[in-house]
Structures are given as structure tokens and as C-alpha cells.
Structure 1
Amino acid sequence: MIEMKVAGIALDAITRSPIVLLKDGSDRRALPIFIGQDQAKAIISALEKQKMPRPLTHDLMANLLEAWEMTLERVIIHSLQDNTFYAVLCMSQGETKKEIDCRPSDAIAIALRTNSPIWVMEEVVADASIPVDRDADEEERQAFKQFVSNIRPEDFIQRGRFSGES
């Protein structure tokens, strides 16, 4: 799994639909997830630390968790099927742990309010992410090519007591 942070909300140039953009810790990969208008507003209000006069739905959820001494340990975006992302809330209350199915947009909005980490399965990142830093990707690719071109068969021979020699 890869821990990701919310980079912000963008609008799709064609459909004008909101997209939440998650970035990995190295800022090398971004994961765009299309979301609804209400979830976009909820995520923006959490990012901007806005306090509403009355709790909205995601604030209510965070308040319930706190009142019942429950912890949102993390959010996991675990799969992508037919262009739909799937997520779970990993909750705990004392020794009891539960995973609750949740839309990624709602999970992200709640995670931001509870300062909980957002994790994404590697296969989801591999399938749906976009490169952010192409220069760094190319540098890494070239360094790997150079490493591989300098490997000799002798580099794989173990010497000493673990090589099978008596």
C-alpha cells in the first residue's frame, strides 16, 4: 500500500466534474478520482479548515466517532472496477476493529476531519495514477538501465559459507 495525501480538487476540462487528486509522498504519482459536487465541497471545507455553524454530514460522522471513542485508523482505497474506486474505513474501538465499506470521496472527507491517513493499494496506483514528475521517472529509468548493463554473472555467485561449498 502507498500512503497518499490530498493535493486538492480540480475540475475536469470537458465535463466540469470535480476530481479529488491524491499524491504519493514523493510527489511522483497522482491519483485522480472523479467525485460529486457535494463531496468536493466537503473535501474543500476540510482542507481549508472551515467551521460550519452546524455540522454537515462528514462533520457529524467525525463527531460520532469522537463521542463513541472510535478511531478511524486509516482509509484504504483498495480496488478499481469498471472505472469505480472502492474504499473502506478501518475503524477501531478499544480492541474491536472493523472495516466499513465507503465511497472514496466520503472516506477522504472523513479522513481529513479526523487526521487519518489515506492508503491506496499498489495495483490501484499502477492502474489509475498519472505521472507528475516525468523527469524524475526518466532519471530513475536511466539509472536502472545503467545498473543492469553493468551486472556481471560473477555478481550473483555467493562466496563463503553460504555458497554451497564445503
Structure 2
Amino acid sequence: MIGLEVLGIRIISPEDPPVLLLQEEGGTRCLPIWIGAPEAAAIAVAIEGQQPERPMTHDLLGAVLQLLEPGEGTVVIESVDDGIYQATLHAGGHEIDARPSDLVAVAVRLGWRIECTRSLMDHVGVEVDTAPSDEVEAFRAFLDRVTPEDFDDEDNNH
């Protein structure tokens, strides 16, 4: 498994869905996942450490998980099939299937680990230059030319 850090949310244009960028720990590759606007907002709020006036759904889920299964949990992004990523929450001896964006929103709130399989990163990971200014330009160039269809898994290798 490869540990992932939330690099951020990027919006290419108002017409396109947001992209969640997860960078491998200690590495230079990123896993780009197209997500919905509400999930992007939920992740951004958590990354920025903002506390909403009233708990959002991901805050509620995080609070319930802490009550029922206190301790550490792990989000595992396992595969992509026809552009749809599959992920599982591992907590308290249980595995729960959910969308990666929802699981990342909860993991960021709880400080839980996010991982992906090595085969997934090898299959869809995007190499990023390590220099900060080059990194931004590389991602802009990548996001300008890539579409969700580029990540369709035609040969079913995960």
C-alpha cells in the first residue's frame, strides 16, 4: 500500500467537476480523482480547518465513527473501473464500501490514514516534478489536457 496525502482540490473550469489530488507520501506521483462539488467543498472545509456553524454530514459520520469505533481507521482506494474509483473504509475490524471523496472527507476530519494500492498508483498515477513552481505548472498542463475518460480501465488491470 502507498500512503497518500491530500494535495488539494483543483477546479479546471466552472463547467468541469473538481479534481481531488492525492500525492504519494515521500513520492512525486499523484492520484487524480474527479469528484462532485459538494464533496469538494466538504474536503476543502476540513483541509482549511474551518468549523461550520452546524455539523455537516461528514462531520456527523466522523463523530459517529469515533463513538462506535474509537481509534484509527484507514481509507483504502483500491481500484478504478470505467473511470469510477472504488474505496473502502477500514475501522474497528469492519470494511465499508463508499465513494473515495466521502471517505477522504471523513479521513481528513479524523486524521485517519489514506492509502491506495501500488497497482492503482502505477496504473493511473501522474508523475509530478518535485520543484514547487514546476509542480504547479505540471499540474495545470496535466489538468488542461486530461479528461475523466482517460482513466477508464479498458483492460481491467488494477
TM alignment of 1:80-95, pairs within 5 A? 80-92=80-92
In 2, the alpha carbon distance for the partners of 1:98 and 1:112 equals: 19
Structure 2 residue runs of 5 or longer lacking an equivalent are 132-158
The correspondence for 1:102, drawn from 92, 98, 103, is 98
Distance 1:14-1:126 versus aligned 2 partners, 3 A rule: farther
What is the letter of the counterpart of residue 105 of structure 1?
A: S
What residue is the counterpart of 1:160 in the other structure? none
**SS state of the match for residue 59, structure 1?**
helix
Query: Hey, what's the Cα distance between the residues in 2 that align with 1:109 and 1:9?
Result: 12
Q: Please name the residue that 2:2 is paired with.
A: 2
Partner Cα distance (2:63, 2:53) in 1: 14
CA separation of 1:90/1:42 partners in 2, compared to 1, >3 Å: closer, same or farther?
A: same
The alignment yields a C-alpha RMSD, in angstroms, of 1.7
| SS of match in other structure, 1:58 | helix
Higher alpha-carbon Rg: 1
Q: 113, 117, 121: which one pairs with 1:121?
A: 117
2:127 counterpart letter in structure 1: P
Q: Indicate if the aligned counterparts of 1:72 and 1:111 stay in contact, CA closer than 8 A.
A: no
Residue aligning to 1:47: 47
Give me the identity figure in percent: 36
Contact 1:72 1:89 (C-alpha < 8 Å) held by counterparts:
no
Runs of 4+ aligned structure 1 residues displaced above 6 Å come to none
Q: Which residue of 1 aligns with 2:107?
A: 111
Contact 2:69 2:91 in 1 (8 A): no
- Offset of residue 17 of structure 1: 1.3
Q: For each residue in 1:98-132, what CA deviation from the matched residue of structure 2 results, as whole angstroms up to 9, or x when unmatched?
A: 10001000010000011001000011101111110
* Bigger Cα displacement from structure 2, 106-115 vs 20-29: 20-29
Write the distance in 2 (CA, Å) between the matches of 1:114 and 1:14.
30
Structure 1 regions of 5+ residues with no counterpart? 136-166
Aligned counterparts, 1:1-166, within 5 A? 1-13=1-13, 15-92=15-92, 97-133=93-129
After TM superposition, give the deviation of residue 47 of structure 1 in Å: 0.1
Cα distance in structure 2, aligned partners of 1:110 and 1:45? 11
Q: C-alpha distance in 2, partners of 1:14/1:41?
A: 14
TM-score w.r.t. the length of structure 1 is 0.74
Counterpart residue identity of residue 121, structure 1 = T
The residue matched to 2:53 in structure 1 has which SS? Answer: coil
Is the Cα contact below 8 Å between 1:29 and 1:129 reproduced in 2?
Answer: yes
